């Protein structure tokens, strides 16, 4: 064998090894290969040494509007090169909004910059059109401005609890809240605004701390063709969080919940890309991006929302006196919103007040989803359907991946496999079940759908204004430009024609980063052109959102009162309003199970709660132990879906060996029993942005033990604490209990009483450590049914977990689960309260008239707790009548049955 042949063999072996087991790293740029990341990190290093100030506030330009309380002015950038000084004026605005936020924007006037027909020379400033909720109107807050004095050399803005200081001799914004320094903008002088210049003028436009690396060309192997029409245009800025050394957020990354210091690695990157078999413990970019960091310490939480959808890198540094974040975006404007609150939960709530509340999902969509690439034909689908029933495994959704289409042409069915889709959909509908089909934004060329897109002129264009063609699943494809209102109309027609004949057919928008097989970094070339002439470079991270939003809107146009279900892989701030998401192409191994939890926690605090991970790993074949552990963990994912790759063995749960089948079934059933509690949690998320998979630190922000803890969590505010087992061969795990009393979720046996404590608890293979925290009342429906729809009129069971004082409260939210009539007040909201003397149910809101009002609460289970006193009977008062009922004493609880309380009425049980 010659050397070169040997090398080829090794190379091929290495490549195929990589393809099977890990992400191919050389597909993506590192920071040092990415022009603007490289330049800004270098700039940061150099400016920290030179300590020179190149930006200052132009005092003469300051204008404070006493009606709108808005401060505007210019920041002057000075460039010293060739013994010459150039000044660039950059307009800024500063506003106080909603009582808890400061917003700052910095732009550049580029109207005369570049006269290239079809390309918009403006810096993209329309992110909010997509990212902010349609109902959001910022509430301007009153502010006063005091000019500098001999004693205070800074401009002082005061607005409510905020004091903001502006140094005229530098650009720096010091934010104080309740007179305490909380955040400083540009503390390390890393502001770098690469203003417009031509290649000829470049060197007169660079300060000595700057490097010229890849300003007008891209040397990365797969993006050498990037035309970079504006040259360098990145924006970068640093933020110092005072006295805060715990930062979270900026999903999506396969990494710990608490962000790591990145001084010795690449920064976290936000750039929506298709990363099949992504790396673990990595700052690499993934499918979605939410540019929100949350700092948490004791009684102060700060959110920083960087409103920019371009390729963005974020460096994190933990320092002695706090922490610092350095944001670098390839283009666009500087636009950020600082949110300050006493608790992190309020920061998330405030953030979703801007970007829109997470949708209240279609109730069946919070049940179990059975997916695989692929169910082959109608017979296959119907056989899975009936086998699930035969084995009494509840489920709500079946999924059809790519292969259901006629030769990968979306909006068509493969004729021989699905000759009568309606027949199949109707059959599923008889048990209230639904079907999801995959429809992606890449459209195969040469059929009626792509033809209509071309003739309407709404395909994404290339750098020379012609429709862009690239490779994806169908081979040569074009991409619909859903930034365009006309494209939305065109898309809406396709969607409506495809789904309108069935009421239980929904859509999964995959590959919408977009994924382009022959594109640089597996995605779109940055010089593609979208609606209004904006470059892909400027809007990249928003594209996926425009696609799933268009799909959602198509459903709403068709039927304004019915909640659609849409799954998206790519997401951005605001995606939570209309779609669920998941963590993409994971592997069937323990590492991916472990990291699915911090990943979903990060999405939950960043306002994107309806998230899940493919159970039990998309690639590869999980063994029985991993299957069991993954279902035990996965039943707590807000979005609960099993999925598997084409090359894997079939794994519908009824195929598992015993005892795997029984254990897995038991946990799917537990999810269904807890649906009323889950749905109430989804409602809290919808109204207040409360995380559904809820980090420990969100419920106990002052407990340092929880800052790093990301392998246990709560279900919303429902008081259920879960510690999934995510390592093999584990008979016991450690659980950190907060102070209080905790009962085993399954038996109600007391598991912990007293102060914060880490305990070893048994976790044999059939057991999932989960607890109810004293002080909560949870609701269940205990009867097995085939789907959630068939459970809707089943009776409720209340489980009372008293705290150490013998008290508990709970809430139950009920609506029809499928329409928007809850917005007109058609829902039940019930508050329950338990004391040693009585348990009461109070109806806060009820349906005008509905069968839901008369569903019953039949059973109450009260966990045994220290100091309690229980007789053998209690008295139920409801509907003006009184009746004595027996109390049955169980090992760890007291049980009252046959109550027959109507859920739409007030009631009281005297104990």
From the list 493, 613, 499, the residue with the least C-alpha distance to 564 is 499
Q: Which is nearer to ligand NAG, 16 or 281 (CB)?
A: 281
Bond into 252 cis (ω within 30): yes
Is residue 299 within 8 Å of 702, Cβ to Cβ? yes
- At its nearest, how many Å lie between ligand NAG and the CB of residue 583? 15
Edge-first strand listing for the sheet containing 470-472: 442-444, 475-479, 470-472
Binding mask 37-76 for ligand NAG (x = CB under 6 A): ----------------------------------------
- At its nearest, how many Å lie between ligand NAG and the CB of residue 353? 4
Strand partners, 436: 399, 506
- At its nearest, how many Å lie between ligand NAG and the CB of residue 252? 16
Instruction: Give the pair of three-digit tokens for residue 76.
Output: 């002057």
- At its nearest, how many Å lie between ligand NAG and the CB of residue 589? 9
What is the per-residue DSSP string for 877-888? Answer: EETTEEEEEE-E
Q: Which is nearer to ligand NAG, 356 or 775 (CB)?
A: 356
- At its nearest, how many Å lie between ligand NAG and the CB of residue 708? 10
When asked if residue 227 is in the footprint of ligand NAG (CB under 6 A), the reply is no
Applying CB under 6 A, which of residues 27, 280, 756, 910 lies at the interface with ligand NAG?
280
Distance, in Å, from the CA atom of 578 to the CA atom of 796, rounded to the nearest integer, reads 30
171 CB neighbour count, 10 Å cutoff: 24
Burial of 218 from C-beta contacts in 10 A (0-12 / 13-18 / 19+): buried
Is residue 482 within 8 Å of 509, Cβ to Cβ? no
For ligand NAG, the binding residues in 763-792 under the rule CB under 6 A are none
- At its nearest, how many Å lie between ligand NAG and the CB of residue 906? 27
Cα angle 254, 296, 163 (rounded to 5 degrees) comes to: 130
3-state secondary structure 97-157: ECCCEEEEEECCCCCCCCCCCCCCCCCCCCHHHHHCCCCCCCCECCCEEECCCCCCCCEEE
Calculate the alpha carbon distances from 767 to 391, 392, 467, 889 in Å. Answer: 21, 20, 56, 25
For ligand NAG, the binding residues in 340-359 under the rule CB under 6 A are 346, 349-350, 353
Q: What is the dihedral of CA 898, 899, 901, 906, to 10 degrees?
A: -170
Q: Which is nearer to ligand NAG, 518 or 731 (CB)?
A: 731
For ligand NAG, the binding residues in 559-598 under the rule CB under 6 A are 591
Q: 448-456 and 485-499 helices cross at what angle (nearest 10)? A: 160
Q: Please state whether beta strands 434-438 and 397-400 pair in parallel, antiparallel, or not at all (unpaired).
A: parallel
- At its nearest, how many Å lie between ligand NAG and the CB of residue 762? 7
Distance, in Å, from the CA atom of 722 to the CA atom of 778, rounded to the nearest integer, reads 15
At residue 455, the 3 state secondary structure works out as: helix
For ligand NAG, the binding residues in 110-139 under the rule CB under 6 A are 122, 125-126, 128
For ligand NAG, the binding residues in 199-218 under the rule CB under 6 A are none
- At its nearest, how many Å lie between ligand NAG and the CB of residue 760? 4
Strand partners, 144: 158
Q: What is the dihedral of CA 656, 660, 661, 667, to 10 degrees?
A: -130
Residue 814's H or E segment, with its range, is strand 808-814
For ligand NAG, the binding residues in 697-736 under the rule CB under 6 A are 731-732
Is residue 830 within 8 Å of 843, Cβ to Cβ? yes
Q: Known catalytic residue: 513?
A: yes
Helix, strand and coil percent figures for the chain, each rounded to 5:
25, 30, 45
Strand partners, 328: 236, 313
- At its nearest, how many Å lie between ligand NAG and the CB of residue 106? 12
Instruction: Give the pair of three-digit tokens for residue 90.
Output: 């950059």
- At its nearest, how many Å lie between ligand NAG and the CB of residue 727? 9
- At its nearest, how many Å lie between ligand NAG and the CB of residue 689? 8
- At its nearest, how many Å lie between ligand NAG and the CB of residue 372? 26
- At its nearest, how many Å lie between ligand NAG and the CB of residue 639? 24
For ligand NAG, the binding residues in 464-483 under the rule CB under 6 A are none
Applying CB under 6 A, which of residues 8, 16, 144, 281 lies at the interface with ligand NAG?
281
Q: Which is nearer to ligand NAG, 359 or 801 (CB)?
A: 359
Q: Which is nearer to ligand NAG, 331 or 878 (CB)?
A: 331
At residue 706, the 3 state secondary structure works out as: helix
Catalytic residue among 252, 510, 553, 815, which? 510
When asked if residue 292 is in the footprint of ligand NAG (CB under 6 A), the reply is no
Q: Which is nearer to ligand NAG, 591 or 806 (CB)?
A: 591
Distance, in Å, from the CA atom of 896 to the CA atom of 874, rounded to the nearest integer, reads 8
Q: Please state whether beta strands 475-479 and 505-509 pair in parallel, antiparallel, or not at all (unpaired).
A: unpaired
Distance, in Å, from the CA atom of 845 to the CA atom of 625, rounded to the nearest integer, reads 45
Q: Known catalytic residue: 585?
A: yes
Q: Which is nearer to ligand NAG, 595 or 615 (CB)?
A: 595
Catalytic residue among 210, 585, 684, 815, which? 585
What is the per-residue DSSP string for 691-704? Answer: -SEEEHHHH-TT-G
Q: Which is nearer to ligand NAG, 374 or 594 (CB)?
A: 594
Q: Which is nearer to ligand NAG, 597 or 748 (CB)?
A: 597
Catalytic residue among 98, 297, 513, 858, which? 513
Q: Which is nearer to ligand NAG, 128 or 816 (CB)?
A: 128
Q: Which is nearer to ligand NAG, 314 or 333 (CB)?
A: 333
Is residue 752 within 8 Å of 739, Cβ to Cβ? no
Give the distance, in angstroms, between the CA of residue 197 and the centroid of all CA atoms in the same chain. Answer: 38
Binding mask 77-106 for ligand NAG (x = CB under 6 A): ---------------------x-x------
Q: Which is nearer to ligand NAG, 383 or 732 (CB)?
A: 732
Distance, in Å, from the CA atom of 202 to the CA atom of 158, rounded to the nearest integer, reads 41
Binding mask 484-523 for ligand NAG (x = CB under 6 A): ----------------------------------------
When asked if residue 760 is in the footprint of ligand NAG (CB under 6 A), the reply is yes
Binding mask 730-759 for ligand NAG (x = CB under 6 A): -xx---------------------------
Q: Which is nearer to ligand NAG, 346 or 855 (CB)?
A: 346
At residue 521, the 3 state secondary structure works out as: helix
Instruction: Give the pair of three-digit tokens for residue 280.
Output: 């673990």
203 CB neighbour count, 10 Å cutoff: 12
How many residues bind ligand NAG, per CB under 6 A?
16
Residues in contact with ligand NAG by CB under 6 A are 98, 100, 122, 125-126, 128, 280-281, 346, 349-350, 353, 591, 731-732, 760
Catalytic residues: 510, 513, 585
């Amino acid at each position: 064998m010659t050397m070169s042949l040997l090398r080829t063999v090794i190379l091929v072996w290495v490549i195929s090894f990589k393809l099977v087991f890990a992400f191919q790293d050389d597909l993506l740029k590192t920071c040092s290969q990415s022009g603007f990341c490289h330049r800004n990190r270098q700039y940061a290093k150099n400016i920290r040494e030179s300590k020179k100030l190149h930006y200052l506030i132009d005092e003469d330009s300051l204008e404070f509007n006493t009606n709108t309380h808005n401060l505007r002015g210019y920041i002057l950038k000075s460039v010293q090169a060739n013994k010459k000084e150039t000044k660039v004026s950059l307009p800024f605005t500063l506003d106080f909004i909603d009582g808890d936020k400061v917003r700052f924007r910095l732009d550049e006037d580029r109207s005369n910059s570049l006269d290239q027909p079809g390309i918009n020379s403006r810096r993209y400033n329309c992110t909010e059109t997509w990212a902010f909720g349609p109902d959001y109107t910022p509430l301007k807050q009153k502010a006063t401005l005091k000019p500098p004095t001999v004693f205070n050399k800074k401009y002082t803005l005061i607005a409510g609890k905020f004091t903001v200081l502006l140094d005229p001799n530098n650009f720096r914004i010091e934010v104080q809240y309740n007179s305490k320094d909380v955040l400083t903008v540009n503390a390390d002088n890393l502001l770098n605004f690469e203003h417009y210049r031509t290649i000829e003028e470049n060197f007169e436009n660079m300060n000595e701390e700057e490097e010229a690396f890849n300003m007008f060309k891209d040397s990365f192997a797969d993006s050498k063709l990037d035309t970079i029409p504006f040259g360098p245009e990145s924006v970068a800025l640093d933020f110092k969080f005072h006295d805060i050394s715990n930062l979270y957020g900026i999903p999506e990354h396969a990494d710990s919940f608490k962000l790591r210091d990145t001084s010795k690695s690449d920064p976290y990157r936000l750039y929506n890309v298709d990363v099949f078999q992504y790396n673990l413990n990595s700052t690499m970019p993934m499918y979605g991006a939410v540019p929100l960091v949350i700092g948490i310490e004791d009684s102060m939480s700060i959110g920083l929302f960087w409103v920019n959808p371009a390729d963005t890198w974020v460096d994190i540094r933990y320092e002695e006196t706090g922490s610092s974040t350095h944001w670098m975006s390839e283009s666009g404007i500087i636009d950020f919103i600082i949110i300050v609150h006493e608790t992190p939960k309020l920061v998330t709530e405030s953030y979703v007040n801007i970007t829109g509340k997470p949708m209240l999902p279609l109730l069946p969509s919070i049940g179990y989803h059975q997916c695989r690439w692929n169910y082959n034909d109608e017979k296959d689908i119907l056989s899975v359907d009936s086998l699930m029933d035969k084995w009494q495994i509840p489920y709500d959704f079946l999924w059809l991946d790519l292969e259901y289409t006629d030769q990968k042409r979306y909006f068509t069915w493969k004729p021989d496999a699905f000759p009568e889709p309606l027949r199949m959909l109707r059959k599923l509908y008889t048990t209230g079940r639904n079907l999801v089909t995959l429809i992606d934004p890449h459209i195969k060329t040469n059929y009626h759908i792509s033809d209509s897109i071309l003739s309407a002129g709404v395909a994404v264009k290339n750098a020379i204004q012609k429709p862009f063609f690239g490779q994806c699943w169908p081979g040569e494809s074009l991409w619909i430009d859903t930034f365009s209102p006309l494209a939305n109309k065109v898309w809406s027609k396709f969607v409506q024609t495809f789904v309108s004949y069935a009421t239980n057919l929904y859509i999964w928008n995959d590959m919408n980063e977009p994924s382009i097989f022959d594109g640089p970094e597996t995605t779109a070339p940055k010089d593609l052109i979208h609606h209004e002439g904006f470059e892909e470079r400027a809007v990249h991270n928003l594209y996926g959102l425009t696609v799933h939003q268009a799909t959602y809107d198509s459903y709403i146009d068709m039927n304004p009162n019915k909640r659609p279900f849409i799954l998206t892989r790519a997401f951005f701030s605001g995606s939570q309003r209309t779609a669920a998401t998941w963590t993409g192409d994971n592997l069937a191994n323990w590492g991916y199970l472990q990291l699915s939890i911090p990943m979903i926690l990060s999405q939950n605090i960043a306002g994107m709660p309806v998230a899940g991970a493919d159970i039990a790993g998309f690639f590869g074949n999980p063994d029985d132990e991993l299957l069991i552990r993954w279902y035990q963990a996965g039943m707590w994912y807000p979005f609960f879906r099993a999925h598997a790759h084409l090359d894997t063995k079939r794994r519908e749960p009824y195929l598992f060996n015993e005892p795997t089948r029984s254990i897995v079934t038991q946990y799917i059933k537990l999810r269904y029993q807890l649906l009323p509690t889950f749905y109430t949690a989804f409602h809290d998320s919808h109204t207040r942005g409360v995380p559904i998979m809820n980090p420990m630190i969100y419920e106990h922000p002052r407990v340092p033990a929880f800052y790093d803890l990301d392998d246990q969590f709560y279900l919303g505010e429902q008081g259920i604490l879960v510690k999934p087992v995510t390592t093999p061969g584990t008979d016991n795990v450690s659980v950190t209990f907060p102070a209080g009393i905790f009962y085993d979720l399954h038996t109600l046996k007391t598991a912990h009483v007293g102060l914060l404590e880490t305990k070893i608890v048994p976790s044999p293979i059939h057991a999932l450590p989960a607890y109810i925290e004293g002080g909560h009342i949870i609701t269940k429906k205990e009867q097995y049914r085939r789907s959630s729809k068939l459970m809707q009129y089943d009776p409720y069971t209340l489980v009372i977990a008293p705290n150490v004082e013998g008290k508990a409260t709970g809430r139950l939210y009920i609506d029809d689960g499928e329409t928007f009539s809850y917005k007109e007040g058609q829902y039940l909201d019930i508050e329950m309260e338990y004391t040693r003397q009585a348990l009461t149910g109070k109806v806060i809101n009820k349906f005008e008239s509905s069968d839901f009002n008369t569903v019953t609460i039949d059973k109450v289970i009260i966990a045994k707790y220290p100091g309690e006193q229980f007789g053998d009977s209690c008295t139920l008062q409801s509907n003006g009548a009184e009746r004595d009922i027996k109390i049955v004493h169980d090992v760890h609880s007291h049980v009252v049955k046959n109550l027959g309380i109507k859920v739409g009425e007030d009631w009281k049980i005297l104990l």
